[in-house]
Structure 1
Amino acid sequence: MSTMTNNNTKNLVDTAAANGSFKTFGKAIERAGMSETLRGDGPFTVFAPTDAAFEKLPSGKLDNLFKPENKEELVSLLNYHVVSGRKSVADVGKWEAARTVNGQSAPITLANDKVSIDGAQVTSADIASSNGVIHGIDKVNIPTKQ
């Protein structure tokens, strides 16, 4: 049983917005048309790249992903950051890989009590919301297959 308590009444989308570090992620969720899903019942575990993580993307990559004709690619990329269920970092750290909503597995590593998913380190863990949990990460993970 997880020791994570959930007294946050905001859903994942609103929790991310209230946090202030996930503005770009929130925009991406809206552009992808995923707001309703992530406001839904869930629960979901979201590895949300911080704004600083999005800034590390190659120049023009984000603008390109935000174009309507690339919506499918954006959805795939965002779904690569979502896992079904409410999982704390302690839970995730026990895994070798996370089965993401986009169907692709993301490798998990645990080193010096720090959890990484596909090379992105969790920088803020266990941000509870009413329908899941957010873990802030320092890199935008790109799935190998769209």
Structure 2
Amino acid sequence: MFRKVSLFAIGLSFAISTVALAGNYKAKKDIVDTAASVSDFSTLVTAVQAAGLVDTLKSDGPFTVFAPTNEAFAALPDGTLESLLKPENKEKLVSILTYHVVAGEVKAADVVSLSQAETVQGDTIDIKTKYGKVMIDGATVTQTDIATSNGVIHIIDKVILPNS
């Protein structure tokens, strides 16, 4: 009996250590590295690179990023993404991407108590909570609080566009 309890304790200790290490490992990745490690953000990462925002999103921050998925980018009208990725449209791409970023770390518990937030781009995004869902300018937040070393990522199902 003592041996079974000891083996259980060793196994439990290993499991706790593994979870703790995994949590610490994830916390060491910044926003860009975290996004790059998720295949469903490959379009976002490509856009961030084309806009020249990699260094900014790897800086200390903290930042809150409302990150559209590949599917969200695919839902843009035909040719829109391709056009935005062209060097001559870099300024517009930067404007759109920075509209998805809020300075500071805004976790899900904070988002639900806000009605709007100012983006790094300069405009404000509207935040609504309805039927247990959080909407950011009409995009639904599908996953929250992905921790990074320099902020937090919330996944959204739509590319949101600035007013200006």
Mapping of residues 31-70 of structure 1, within 5 Å: 31-70=50-89
1:71 aligns with 2:103: no
**Displacement of 1:121 after TM fit?**
0.5
User: Cα RMSD between the aligned structures?
Assistant: 0.9
TM-score by length of 1: 0.93
**Displacement of 1:19 after TM fit?**
2.1
Aligned to 1:84: 103
Between structures 1 and 2, the one with greater helix share: 2
TM-score by length of 2: 0.83
Instruction: Find the aligned partners of 1:71 and 1:110 in 2 and give their Cα distance.
Output: 33
| Structure 2, gaps ≥5 residues long | 1-22
What is the count of residue pairs matched by the alignment? Answer: 140
Give deviations 1:31-74, integer Å, cap 9, x for gaps. Answer: 00000000000000000000110010000000000010100000
Aligned to 1:128: 147
Instruction: Find the aligned partners of 2:138 and 2:50 in 1 and give their Cα distance.
Output: 25
SS at match of 1:21: helix
Which of the pair has more CA radius of gyration? 2
Equivalent residue letter for 2:154: H
Which 10-residue stretch deviates more, 16-25 or 55-64? 16-25
Tell me: higher relative CO, structure 1 or 2? Use CA pairs within 8 A at least 6 residues apart: 1
| Structure 1, gaps ≥5 residues long | 1-5
SS at match of 1:116: strand
Q: Percent identity?
A: 54
